[in-house]
Structure 1
Amino acid sequence: MPVTGSDNTAGGDHASPRSGAATGPSDPLIGLLVDDRYRIRSRLARGGMATVYVAHDERLDRPVALKVMHPHLAESAGFVARFRREARAAARIVHPGVVSVFDQGVVHGQGFLVMELVDGPNLRTLLQAQGAFTVEQALRYAEEILDALRAAHRVGVIHRDVKPENVLVPTEGPVRVTDFGLARAASDVSMSTTGSMLGTVAYMPPEIATTGRTDPRTDIYSVGIMLEEMLVGHIPWEGDSPMQMAYAHVNDDVPVPSDEQPWIPREVDDLVASLAARDPDERPADAGQAQALVARVRSALPPEILSRRAPVSRLEAPEGDTARIPAAGRTSPLPSPLTPTSQAVVHASGVTPSGGTSSRRSPSSRVRTLVALLVVLLLAGGAGGWWWWTQYGPGSYVELPATAGRSAAAVESDLKALGLDYALTQAFSDDVEEGTVISSEPDGGMPVHKDSEVRLTVSKGVDMRAVPDLVGRGEDEARTALTDAGLAAGALDREWSETVPEGQVVSQATKAGTSVPHGTEVDLVVSKGREPLAVPDLTGLGGDEAREKIEALGLTASPSEAYSDTVDAGVVISQSTGAGTTLHRGDPVSYVVSKGPEMVTVPDLTGKQLEEAQQDLEALGLSTDVRRLAGGWFNTVRSTDPAAGTAVPKGTTVTITIV
């Protein structure tokens, strides 16, 4: 039957229905239809901050897990706001290794989450049943957990409470990580209301205890602690108080597995030491790198090592009862640091550790000693209490001033006045003016530890980009250049060009080098190549008219002249470039303009013999007609008609008069 995993972020356990979790009639939510959709069937588990129910989604006809926050948390507006934000963030994670968040809302004033119901126990239950895992099993679980965390980190979600209770082991497929983001909401309300730092101390990285800062490496540390636990069967420093355990996380390196199980190879020791390094900079930079590191170690180990398991006794839960989790794995507020032991104080006062005295004392002396001891204890306790108050208690937290929307200089001044460290990151913004804070981590108005570093994101103003020179580039190349410059291609016009080849940019609407906001569209004109022009029919047009018509099309007139007996002078006789021929701008058009008939001058033939005169006229292209006077016995030319010196068209007949 489907079950969900532990809810230690919410302060309790997710029990399996087969474990006998109470579903008594005293719970008013049993049978309730929540949000006109989710029918609560039974209670699965109850913890310090939430109760988990098995419900049925009547709209989609499927079982779901319904996690209802306890009523006292609804009194904190900060928790409600953070709960909603973190739930939305967690819902963005889509990965087969992450328990899906389907919905959120409020029932009876209590916030609730609707989540996927997973068939299988959590990792804590499995560890209790097996005592420890084989090396192969432990590495595989670590690799699958890191794969799920990688998906969460990619969308900006840090889990902050990775532990066996929040890892489910379904019957099929990879392990499933749950309760993303809820640890942060729970920690925020705990700090703001009680001044304590809520967290599962056994898996808590040192930077949370010292600075409160978190990033993806925070989750990697917790996975390293879990890997150690899966290999040797218990957490590091098990049996210490929460404060001693937190102190050890901050000041001591995590013991390597081979300290307890000498057969565990150095590769596994190095892996645990890397994942759980005290300095975050010495851990893998992100879950992806950590996952690759685990995979390399897993593939490098021989089968005989991978199959071995530490000989740890199993902790079986009684049949029909809910398995309880050891105290070290529970979510607890960190207590004040331990004050000096009375034994040490007595020893310093002259009393031996066994309770005897170094010399025999009178009753009055013993009274004075006891009074002195009491004073020392009170002073030591007061000093320890003050140290706790200022380092971890309410006195160690200050309220972060408003940040977003204010000038960076003003926010920096406020942070300096509070003694808070801060780091600036600049980012472009289309909406926030230059020099103004866009956001901060943590958010403005939130309580933060006095040793925390506040990360401010300050606006650099609108991201301005230089327009590239696109003229002469191909269309696709121009679009790519605009995209690379953070701009976009706008309207695209095409026109003929005699100088720019087809497909290349002729001009751009925004001059190259101009600074414009990112994303601005730049209009382009792209060449269609040379414009095709059809030659007109010039036949019968006058020479000047033909020239004007040709030049109006952008072509070049190339006329020639010829005599014509049939076409009047000045009129086009013919065209070498035929009508309808396709040319391009500037190409020549050849045509012939008539000069009219060819003219010749009638020569002076007087006194010449008829035969010679005829030859002279024929040589000029003239015809002859002879008229004889007095019989024309002498064949001597007396006159011509037209008379000598007259210009006549070639081919004209000249009448010769001879005597």
Structure 2
Amino acid sequence: MIGQTLSNRYELLARVGGGGMALVYKARDLLLNRFVAVKVLRQQFTHDEDFVRRFRREAQAAASLSHSNIVSIYDVGQVEDTHYIVMEFIDGANLNEIIRDRAPLQAEEAVRITAQICDALEHAHHNQIIHRDIKPHNILIGNNGRVKVTDFGIARAVTSSTITQTGSVIGSVHYFSPEHAKGVATGEKSDLYSLGIVLYQMMTGRLPFLGESPISVALKHLQEPFEQPRKVNPYIPQSVENIILRAMRKNPQERYDSAKEMLLDLETCLRPQRLNEPAVKYLSDEEDENRTRVIPAIRPDMVNTMEAPAVKVASSNNSDQWNSEGSDERKRKWVMPTVLGGFAIILIGILIWAVSALKGQMPDDVLVPDVVGQLEQEAKNMLTTAGFTIADPIIYEETEDKDADGKVIAQDKANMEAKEGSEIQLTVGRKKDLPLMPDLRGKTFEDARDYLKETLGVDKDNILPSPIFDKSEPGTVLDQFPKKDSPFDPSVPDMKITLTISKGEEAFPMPNLIGDSLDVAKAKIEKANLKLPAANIHMETSYTPKGEVFKQFPLDENEMVTAQMEVSIWISSGYPKDSKTQPLDVTVSPAVEGESSKIMIKYSDARGDNIEAVTKKISATTSIPITLILSPTKDGIIYIFRDGQLIQTEHVPYLAIPVTVEPDVPVDSGGGTNTGEVPPSNEGIDPVDLGTTNE
């Protein structure tokens, strides 16, 4: 759909995302000359009333909310079969990408993001809207750091009807609340449970519940405890773990009462006096009200005796035996039978005389020949020769027996005597005038099936799809059996019609291009039979080394794509202008002068967290050069390890460094790699001289 203009106003520029129900495009609003995001319902759902209703509900739910942390809805429309929603365009990434690239996040960043989500939920809940699908994929982080909650596609208004709803379960199983997994009513506290899982994932880099199938994951939400966050990541402050534990309680009564209460807890959890507060403790979950119970059997003495209702028998009415005046004289019934009897005797006498008079003129009885199986004309000849006439009209009846076409399949008075000259009724077989198979190619499977049922009366169960990979739109009929114009009988019970339909092009995993040069990325894209138009190569500033790919679309490695699909890549043109470069000499000493010690230096800066700069053995005091790249939102931190123990942390603030280096400064020669370890936070500790060591 790229290049199309919806409603003569929204020009679709590029696809920037999508889910199971809809695709999202970056577009230009030609009327207001601004970028917007246009969410388009997938074509296969445009005729599904449930999906269209859910799609419209998203626009209605989000449009009723106005909050700085909720994506704004600008417009909603329909062009023929295309349903779309126009919303605020967020230039940034979703939280799932950030977790994938940088988790575990620092506590300050994770709490800041969670607090903004919580603020958005407080506003939605205040307006009686339950999101029901809080997950990192639905959280957008703008380049300015602003968090935006989106995708209200399965949101529900809090009404009596939704409180009692126990219908189908919709949502993302890894972020289900226990009550959501059971398919019962979901409320505000279900959103808080899902938010607790999001915070758990940001702080640990993993999900609390995993399984081989969605059902197994849902059962774990209901039945199994999750691993304590601090056991996964011991550097999580106890106050933050307490928030996660309370938000993720299986019993909704033990969670936060509201998003506002959780927000107040988030706003104070990183204060120094709370960082090492006691771990929260809970009693074991109460038994489910719907647990299986033993019910005593009903004993005979417990059964209430019930009297059978008396049966009222109506007495017979003998009034017909008495005259109308009520006297006890019986009615006189002998007069009328006497008159009728006399009249009958006269008629019988007349009939006897008539039969005797005509007896000499009656035709003889003749054996009717059996003509079943004879051709129509031959049967006529046989009957007329025997002295019979043919009843008009002859009955013609369709038959499935091809050999019976034109032959007598039934007659009356066969193999019995009949009066000479009497009529014989013949039934002659005629082959069925079968309809011809219509040409169904190019139709959707649903349209073809409806046409066969409504026009020819074919049972839908006898119309079978045979999907194959093809470039055509999924669901399109490519071939058929019986073939076009072939005669067929739709009334035959086992008559099967097979429609070969397209299931789209065969999909394969998207290659990972992050960190590749342009030439290497092009080679991978060409090898995967994908397209990379020149217009889809974007040069932007980034904290990725100059010349390397730092973003791609499709976004996820191993996301399923199809041949000749267009790919977009973003290549770093160097560091942003507001970045600062700080070269440092880190002086380290062995544990014992003259004896060997293993030194490892890591750093966190705008390029990432916990990047290993150097690992080496020293036996004397040594100076090691390190270069940090800082951004306005990311200070630098240097961690020094000796023999596996953290001995020193140095905080390098952005504001303390003057801008002295251009954005295109190359990456330091240390060539660090992200190990995934999270060193302990030393905020609040006075800076130490890098030339000394701390045991």
**Rg larger for:** 1
The TM-score bracket by the shorter chain reads: 0.3 to 0.5
Q: Which has the higher contact order (CA 8 A, sep 6+)?
A: 1
Q: More helix by proportion, 1 or 2?
A: 1
**What TM-score comes out, normalization by structure 2 length?**
0.38
